[in-house]
Structure 1
Amino acid sequence: MLTEKQIRAFKPRENDYIVSDGRSTRGEGVLILKVRPNGTKEYYFQRHVAGKKKLTKVGVWPTLSLVEARESCREQRTKVIAGGTFNDLLDAYVSKLTGENAASTDDVQWSFKRYVTEPFPNLAILPACAIGPGEIRDIITRMIERGITTYCNRVRSRLHAAFQMGLEQEFNPRNYHQDGLKFGLQNNPVASIPVQDDWERPGDRTLTVEELATLWQLLPEKLSLTTAVLIQFLIASGGQRPEQLLAVERQQYYKDHLLIRNKKGRDGERAAHAVPYNKLMRQSLHTMSEISSTSVYPFEGKNEGKSLHANSLSRAVTKLYGRHAEKFEEPFTLRDLRRTCKTLMGVAGISKELRDRIQGHAFSDVSSKHYDRYDYFKEKKSGLARWSTWLEKNAIKRP
């Protein structure tokens, strides 16, 4: 191996000559020093591509020390060995979620395409190991400049998880030789990017009865029919989680109820959550059936066979408020509608326990977790019928 003393002692000759820094594993490439006739000493990373030598200039000695040249060469070698691109890493993470049947799979895939690969195509084709904190910062900055707040943290978290998966694949001794695609990661570049904590504070906004009535009346005229009917259905159903509801295919809408499968449940939370229909829910489903009675999802988006996306729904609610801010006391979001339903169902005389069951909340006490297998279908049906009657009187038919 070369030393600084040796490099200093090398004398120029009539022609260029090369000195290697030592042997390396076949195919990984090696650091070499080229001495020019004028005395200039240059570092190169040399490797063989398709049987031919390829040189990549690393720097000039002594501006770049031998230690720094070796480090640069190591990074270059990692990129050569690890063929996995940034896009490959994101695809691998989505495949992992798909294999785990994760409820967030579609949303994760959509967010990577929307905020990473489409706006940054040049980053997507780079080796994953070439992505650093600066590139991740640029991705999140672009989102913030577009006025996106809380969802920035979601994308950051998903990128962190993708790189962490790549690291575990690289350094897990049990499956290192089993995985074909390598990424050559040495660290997680997302770890240096801070979470925007001020956008994670729990909300407390609930719409008043008057505001809910105003919203209900605005929906059919100010939004697309599918979006408007979906929001009415969410309200009529007592504030179900939009992401879970939109994942329910038509075959899970039965004669008297729909079945929401909670793929990401916590201890004490049911794997399946039955939501009985009330009068308003049936009206919404009838409207959607008139549009299409055979689509995979009752609330189908622009793409055939695909449900309307929860993020599109969220943006629609935010834009609706923005266009009619004078009609409401303060801003509200899609997430606030679930809280509003929970609160106003209490005003309608529905007990907290029943409201929790209608919204599919977890019951973590020992009795609920391990012994109580009663489905409470009859009670939920009665509660939702009462909620429907209250909505008609106080919101829908309100002058």
Structure 2
Amino acid sequence: MAKLYDTTISALGIGKRKSERLDNGGSLIIWNKKRAAGGSKEFYFRKILKEGSEINIKIGSYPSIKLVQARKRANELSSQAAGTDNIKFQLEEEKRLRVAAEQAAIRERARLDNLGTLQQLCEAYRDRMKAEDRSSYAKVFASLERYVLTPYPHLATQKANLITADDIKHILQAMYARDITTTLNRTRGDLHAAFNVGLTYDHDITVQKSNGLCFDISSNPVAKIKKIQRFERVLERNLDTEELRIVWEACCQYMNPVYASLLKVMICTGFHPVELLRLSSTDIVPDERAIYMTKTKSSTPNLILLNKYAWAEIQTRLNEPGATNLLFPSRVSNPKSDAYDRTSVLSNQVAALRSNLPIEPFTPRDIRRTVKTLMGKAGISKTMRDRMQNHTTTDVSGKHYDRYDYLPEKRVAMKTWEQWLAKNVIDPGGIDTNVISGLFNRAQQ
């Protein structure tokens, strides 16, 4: 086997082949195959095995691959073949690993290209809240935009998994320097919740990620920063009986009629103002003189039984024409559909009311606490008070197994509360024992 030269290859006839022996065994073959007019000259590595069989591995076509390149590759294959009994299997395995590595590199490149920013993380948190039917999702996102995304655009466009605890500290320090207190803790809490969403987002099978969005977050940078306890307001104010009587009598004089009605219904039921502000006329159950509330803080629908005083306010609202079917539409300033925004209007109305009253300041939230406290004074058990206000049951039995609606017991408790309100707050000395016509009578039958 003489050494191959370019002149040898050029003179090679169709169907002919020449070979060159390699130092580590095997040969470099040039073969002019009858595949096209004029032939096709191809390089091969050839080795005859001990049992007499042979292997042929194509290197490439001449002149696309030069002779010097083919010789170098043939020597590499010769060296490999000397150390293995199955060079073809080894080459196929190397190819498989190479293809797998290339695919992994492509996936990693795509992952890096699709890594979400802090802006996108906050949006994902907002979307999660919306999917969970949490009505505060818009308010929370607006707060994050105001205190985080808008003032720090360089962080908003930063990959979320590159945000550090120092970045979060910088945001919160700026708020602290501006004497922002409670909202500082709320912003910290919202950011903490957003990063918790990011921790599981990439592997959440319930999220449809058509755009390939991912975050690759392995730890929550907000966890290192604790909330400031002294900024948490401990709300303990509750009105006594005399104060509640003054509020009941004066609210219609100093408040907008819609919000005066809302305040009275709160006193009669102890329900959260946001839950009541979401109600529409379709939520009223006239036959039961009740409200069927589907959106509650505990996410548990609740049938709210009304005493005659609350029912009178509801009837007033139903009989008053309005542009929307909201039970308590906004009649102050510009109409607002968001219940949380309208709660601020209620707070302003209550502030105007209390400025004209000879009692200590209070907020709408204090009414809920007041009702819970005075219901106990009226003789209603804490268990029943919790059920009337739809507070979440935390024990396993109540949370997972007890599906009884407690309506008869609620009717009795509401009757007790109505009588106590009549005697001590609304009409002292003039109790009407015929409470809610028909409603409690059915409970006693």
Range class of TM-score, shorter chain: 0.5 to 0.7
- Aligned 8 A contact 2:123 2:141 in 1: no
Q: Tell me by how many angstroms 1:94 deviates.
A: 1.5
TM value normalised by structure 2: 0.57
Q: Which amino acid aligns with 2:145?
A: T
Q: CA deviation at 1:261?
A: 3.3
Query: Matches of 2:206 and 2:140 in 1, distance apart?
Result: 31
Show structure 2 runs of 5+ residues with no match: 1-108, 430-445
Displacement, 1:208?
0.8
Q: Deviations over 1:112-158 (max 9, x none)?
A: 21x33135524355335365545545655676678765454333222
Further displaced range: 179-188 or 155-164: 179-188
Residues 172/87 of structure 1: CA separation in 2 closer, same or farther (3 Å cut) = same
Secondary structure, aligned partner of 1:350: coil
**CA pair 323-385 structure 1, distance change in 2 beyond 3 A:** same
Name 2:262's counterpart in structure 1.
Answer: 230
Provide the residue aligned with 2:276 in structure 1. Answer: 245
2:293 is the alignment partner of 1:260: yes
Shift of 1:315: 4.1
Distance in structure 2 (CA, Å) of the matches to 1:225 and 1:84: 48
Any residues of structure 2 matched to 1:1-399 within 5 Å, and which? Answer: 81=113, 84-101=116-133, 105-113=134-142, 115-118=143-146, 121-123=150-152, 125-129=156-160, 131-133=163-165, 136-137=168-169, 140=172, 149-150=181-182, 152-170=184-202, 180-183=212-215, 185=217, 187-200=219-232, 203-237=235-269, 239-255=270-286, 256-261=289-294, 265=298, 271-292=300-321, 295-301=324-330, 302-303=334-335, 305-307=337-339, 309=341, 311-312=343-344, 315-316=347-348, 319-320=351-352, 323=355, 327-329=358-360, 331-363=361-393, 368=398, 372-397=402-427
Which structure has the bigger radius of gyration? 2
Output the CA distance in 2 between the equivalents of 1:176 and 1:375.
37
CA distance in 1, matches of 2:338, 2:208: 36
8 Å Cα contact 1:170/1:176 also seen in 2: no
Tell me by how many angstroms 1:274 deviates.
Answer: 1.3
Identity of aligned residues (%): 32
Counterparts of 1:280 and 1:141 in 2: how far apart (Å)? 49
Aligned-pair CA distance for 1:234:
1.1
Amino acid of the structure 2 residue aligned with 1:213: R
1:276 shift after superposition: 1.0
CA offsets, 1:29-51, max 9 Å, x none?
Answer: xxxxxxxxxxxxxxxxxxxxxxx
Larger RCO, structures 1/2 (Cα 8 Å, 6+ apart) = 1
Supply the distance in 2 between the matched residues of 1:145 and 1:396 (Cα, whole angstroms). 48
Counterpart for residue 28 of structure 1:
none
What CA distance in whole angstroms lies between the structure 2 residues aligned with 1:145 and 1:223?
37
Across the aligned residues of Structure 1 and Structure 2, the Cα RMSD in angstroms comes to 4.2
CA deviation after TM superposition for structure 1 residue 110, in Å: 0.7
TM-superposed CA distance for 1:195, in Å, is 1.2
CA–CA distance in 2 between the matches of 1:165 and 1:84? Answer: 12
- 5+ residue gaps, structure 1, are 1-76
In 1: Cα distance, 2:346 partner to 2:170 partner:
24
One-letter amino acid matched to 2:303: A
Q: What is the SS of the residue equivalent to 2:418?
A: helix
Work out the CA distance in 1 between the residues paired with 2:388 and 2:205.
46
Judged with a 3 Å threshold, the aligned counterparts in structure 2 of structure 1 residues 336 and 174 are, in CA distance, closer, same or farther, namely closer
SS at match of 1:106: coil
Opposite residue 87 of structure 1, the aligned amino acid is: Q
Is the Cα contact below 8 Å between 2:248 and 2:264 reproduced in 1?
Answer: yes
Paired residues of 2:251 and 2:260 also in contact (CA < 8 A):
yes
Q: Compared with structure 1, are the counterparts of its residues 116 and 213 closer, same or farther at alpha carbon in structure 2 (3 Å cutoff)?
A: same
Residues 193 and 250 (structure 1), Cα distance of their counterparts in 2 relative to 1, 3 Å cut: farther
Cα drift, residue 358 of structure 1: 1.4
Q: Which amino acid aligns with 2:284?
A: Y
Alpha-carbon distance in structure 2 between the residues aligned to 1:249 and 1:364: 30
User: AA paired with 1:161?
Assistant: A
Are residues 282 and 318 of structure 1, via their aligned partners in 2, closer, same or farther at CA, if it must alter by over 3 Å? Answer: closer
Which residue type is aligned with residue 118 of structure 1? R
3-state SS of 1:162 partner:
helix
